[in-house]
Amino acid sequence: MSQVLLGLDLGTTGARALAVTPGGEVVAEATASYPLLTPRPGWTEQRPDDWLEASREVLRRAVAESGGEVAALGLTGQMHGSVFLDSADRVVRPALLWNDQRTHRQAEAITSRVGGGRLLQITGNAALTGFQAPKLLWLRDEEPAAYGRLATVLLPKDYVRLWLTGERVTDASDASGTLLLDLRRRTWSPELLDLLELPIEWFPNVLESPDPAGRLRADVAADLGLPAGTTVAAGAGDNAAAAVGTGIVREGLVSSSVGTSGVVFAHTDLPLPDPSGRLHAFCHAVPGAYHLMSVTLSAEGSLRWWRDLLAEAGGEVDYDRLAGLAAAVPPGSDGLIFLPYLTGERTPHLDPFARGAYFGLTATHGVAHLTRALMEGVVYSLRECLDLMTVAGVRVEEVRATGGGARSRIWRQLQADVYGLQVRRPVAEQGPAYGAALLAGVAGGVYRDVAEASEVVAIEPDSVEPDPDARPVYEEGLRLYRSLYTSTRSAMHALHKLS
What are the structural domain ranges in the chain? Answer: 3-246, 300-424+468-498
For 430-457, what is the mean pLDDT? 94
pLDDT at residue 405 in the model: 86
pLDDT at residue 140 in the model: 98
pLDDT at residue 317 in the model: 85
Q: Exposed, middle or buried, 314 (CB in 10 Å: 0-12/13-18/19+)?
A: exposed
Flag whether pLDDT at 346 surpasses 90. Answer: no
For 326-348, what is the mean pLDDT? 95
Flag whether pLDDT at 107 surpasses 90. Answer: yes
pLDDT at residue 421 in the model: 93
Burial pattern 156-195, b for ≥16 Cβ within 10 A else e, equals: bbbbbbbbbbebbbbbbbbbbbbbbbbbeebebbeebbee
Flag whether pLDDT at 264 surpasses 60. Answer: yes
Name 187's Cβ contacts closer than 8 Å, sequence gap at least 6.
Answer: 181, 206
Flag whether pLDDT at 84 surpasses 90. Answer: yes
Flag whether pLDDT at 440 surpasses 60. Answer: yes
For 337-347, what is the mean pLDDT? 93
For the chain, the distance separating the N- and C-terminal CA atoms, rounded to the nearest angstrom, is 59
Flag whether pLDDT at 34 surpasses 60. Answer: yes
For 231-243, what is the mean pLDDT? 95
Task: Say what percent of the chain tops pLDDT 70.
Answer: 100
Model confidence band, residue 431 (pLDDT cutoffs 50, 70, 90): confident
Of residues 430 and 220, more confidently modeled: 220
For 142-149, what is the mean pLDDT? 98
Flag whether pLDDT at 75 surpasses 70. Answer: yes
155-188 pLDDT, tens digit each: 999 999 999 999 999 999 999 999 999 999 999 9
Q: Domain 3-246 has what CATH class?
A: alpha beta
The predicted model scores a pTM of 0.85
- 174 part of the active site: no
290-307 pLDDT, tens digit each: 999 998 999 999 999 999
Nearest-CA neighbor of 193 among 146, 145, 123?
123
Of residues 48 and 408, more confidently modeled: 48
Of the listed ranges 4-8, 58-62, 294-298, the least confidently predicted one is 294-298
The catalytic position among 182, 238, 351, 417 is 238
CB 176 within 8 A of CB 183: yes
Count of beta carbons in the 10 Å neighbourhood of residue 35? 11
Dist. CA 99–CA 156, nearest whole Å: 13
pLDDT at residue 314 in the model: 82
For 233-238, what is the mean pLDDT? 96
Q: Exposed, middle or buried, 305 (CB in 10 Å: 0-12/13-18/19+)?
A: middle
Q: Where are the beta strands (DSSP E) in 150-289?
A: 152-154, 169-171, 181-182, 187-188, 205-207, 212-215, 231-233, 236-237, 253-258, 262-268, 280-283
Over its C-alpha atoms, the chain yields an Rg (Å, rounded) of: 22
Flag whether pLDDT at 396 surpasses 80. Answer: yes
User: Following DSSP, what letter does each residue of 31-57 receive, concatenated?
Assistant: EEE---B-SSTT--EE-HHHHHHHHHH
For 210-237, what is the mean pLDDT? 96
The phi, psi pair for 73, rounded to 5°, reads -125, 135
The packing angle between helices 48-66 and 156-165, to 10°, is: 60
Q: Exposed, middle or buried, 12 (CB in 10 Å: 0-12/13-18/19+)?
A: buried
CB 348 within 8 A of CB 385: yes
Q: Domain 300-424+468-498 falls in which CATH fold?
A: Nucleotidyltransferase; domain 5 (3.30.420)
CB 15 within 8 A of CB 8: yes
Mean pLDDT, all residues of the chain = 94
Burial pattern 49-73, b for ≥16 Cβ within 10 A else e, equals: ebbbebbbebbbbbbeebebebbbb
pLDDT at residue 1 in the model: 56
CB 236 within 8 A of CB 244: yes
The packing angle between helices 132-142 and 104-114, to 10°, is: 110
Model confidence band, residue 277 (pLDDT cutoffs 50, 70, 90): confident
**3-246 and 300-424+468-498 share one fold:** yes
Counting every residue, how long is the chain?
Answer: 499
For 11-16, what is the mean pLDDT? 93
Q: Distance of CA 216 to CAs 50, 61, 219, Å?
A: 20, 17, 8
